[in-house]
């Protein structure tokens, strides 16, 4: 049964009085809470077994960016993991909008989560678990900071292998990050700022929370195997189609990425972000490339277009 959850005037007034609270607003168990009060049980399978799916969308200048695509992916993930929640798509969208509006953040990182939950009898049968929905909105954060966006990121390639698709479907956004975390530590040990890890065939896969693109002779490629098909990744394809650039998904070797004219990464947490150094060598001239800058500029311009974004109503601000 679908539950409708409007923002009640009394609730809105309460959070508007506390709009300076920096951590944002969460939705759990039918109510809106400050982030500091949002907690799950230690018996939840999402905590015990990483048995959960989630999606993240961002708000920029008071507008959700490509929210419909994020909701599509979230519902596909729940279906494939055999999870069910008592809220339909319209209600979840309303909850996300309420979290942002109540937080007062005009630029926000917004997450929706479904965990397997837990069984009232602590059964080990996942069919008996009561699935749980959680959402929250916090201030926007980026994989790359302002300085890194201007000069480009230093990325190291770790020998760590991404969990293969036959084990975990990478199209379902999940919290299985131990391979990515290991890659991060490898990158830090090499003096880099973030990491790329490999697929099961030894090709470049992805990084912790981002996809990667290479530009060579005016054409773009991004790994096709064993990666999450990110929404920002898809947005790059859409932008390339709009401005007449070729973009394909295909295998990329370590040699090819290091010989690229340009490299950039893509994530909801930061958009399109340049990479100018891989391991111990610069990419081409070591400066942010023309195509990367062109796509970065166009990406942020799209945030103001109604076809790509939607307005958040801040009723009490």
pLDDT in tens, 88-135: 999 999 999 999 999 999 999 999 999 999 999 989 999 999 999 999
Q: List, as own/partner pairs, every contact residues 258-262 make where C-beta atoms lie below 8 angstroms and the sequence separation is at least 24, other chains included.
A: 258/283, 259/216, 260/214, 260/215, 260/216, 260/284, 261/215, 261/216, 261/217, 261/289, 262/214, 262/215, 262/288, 262/289, 262/290, 262/291, 262/292
Give the integer Cα–Cα distance in Å for 162 and 153: 21
Tell me the pLDDT band of 18, cut-offs 50, 70 and 90.
Answer: very low
Structural domains of the chain in order of their starting residue, each with its CATH number: 9-140 (3.30.470.10), 146-303 (3.20.10.10)
Q: Is 233 in contact with 211 (CB distance < 8 Å)?
A: yes
The CA angle 105-108-315, to the nearest 5 degrees, is 40
pLDDT at 34: 94
Q: Which helix (DSSP H) or strand (DSSP E) does residue 96 occupy?
A: helix 89-103
pLDDT at 315: 76
Give the integer Cα–Cα distance in Å for 228 and 234: 11
What's the pLDDT tens digit per position in 189-219? 999 999 999 999 999 999 999 999 999 999 9
Tell me the pLDDT band of 23, cut-offs 50, 70 and 90.
Answer: confident
Q: List, as own/partner pairs, every contact residues 20-24 make where C-beta atoms lie below 8 angstroms and the sequence separation is at least 24, other chains included.
A: 21/103, 22/139, 23/138, 24/99, 24/103, 24/105, 24/108, 24/136, 24/137, 24/138, 24/139
Q: Is the confidence at residue 309, as pLDDT, over 50? A: yes
pLDDT at 145: 95
In this prediction, residues 245-255 reach a mean pLDDT of 98
In this prediction, residues 248-269 reach a mean pLDDT of 98
| Averaged pLDDT of the chain | 93
Tell me the pLDDT band of 317, cut-offs 50, 70 and 90.
Answer: low
For residue 286, the 8-state DSSP code is S
Tell me the pLDDT band of 20, cut-offs 50, 70 and 90.
Answer: very low
What's the pLDDT tens digit per position in 45-66? 999 999 999 999 999 999 999 9
pLDDT at 124: 92
Q: Is the confidence at residue 224, as pLDDT, over 70? A: yes
| pTM as predicted | 0.91
pLDDT at 109: 96
pLDDT at 16: 45
In this prediction, residues 266-294 reach a mean pLDDT of 98
What's the pLDDT tens digit per position in 29-44? 999 999 989 999 999 9
């Amino acid at each position: 049964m679908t539950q409708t959850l409007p923002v009640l005037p009394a609730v809105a007034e309460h959070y508007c009085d506390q709009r300076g609270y920096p951590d944002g607003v969460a939705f759990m168990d039918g109510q809106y809470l400050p982030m500091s009060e949002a907690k799950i049980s230690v018996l939840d399978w999402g905590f015990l077994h990483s048995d959960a799916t989630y999606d993240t969308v961002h708000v920029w200048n008071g507008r959700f960016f490509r929210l419909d695509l994020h909701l599509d992916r979230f519902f596909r993930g729940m279906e494939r993991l055999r999870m069910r929640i008592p809220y339909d798509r319209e209600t979840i969208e309303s909850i996300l909008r309420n979290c942002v509006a109540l937080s007062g953040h005009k630029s926000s990182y917004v997450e929706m989560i479904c965990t397997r939950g837990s069984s009232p009898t602590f059964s080990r049968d996942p069919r008996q678990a009561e699935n749980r929905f959680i959402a929250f909105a916090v201030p926007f954060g980026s994989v790359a900071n302002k300085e890194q966006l201007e000069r480009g990121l230093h990325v190291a390639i770790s020998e760590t292998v991404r969990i293969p698709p036959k084990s975990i479907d990478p199209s379902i956004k999940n919290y299985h990050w131990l391979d990515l975390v290991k890659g991060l530590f490898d990158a830090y040990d090499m003096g880099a700022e973030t990491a790329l890890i490999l697929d099961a065939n030894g090709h470049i896969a992805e990084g912790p929370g981002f996809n990667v693109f290479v530009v060579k002779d005016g054409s773009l490629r991004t790994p096709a195997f064993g990666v999450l098909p990110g929404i920002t990744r898809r947005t790059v394809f859409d932008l390339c189609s709009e401005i007449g650039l070729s973009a394909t998904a295909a295998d990329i070797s370590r040699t090819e990425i290091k010989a690229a004219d340009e490299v950039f990464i893509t994530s909801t947490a930061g958009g399109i972000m340049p990479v100018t150094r891989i391991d111990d060598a610069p990419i081409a001239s070591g400066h942010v490339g023309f195509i990367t800058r062109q796509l970065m500029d166009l990406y942020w311009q799209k945030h103001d277009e109604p076809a790509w974004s939607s307005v958040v109503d801040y009723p009490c601000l």
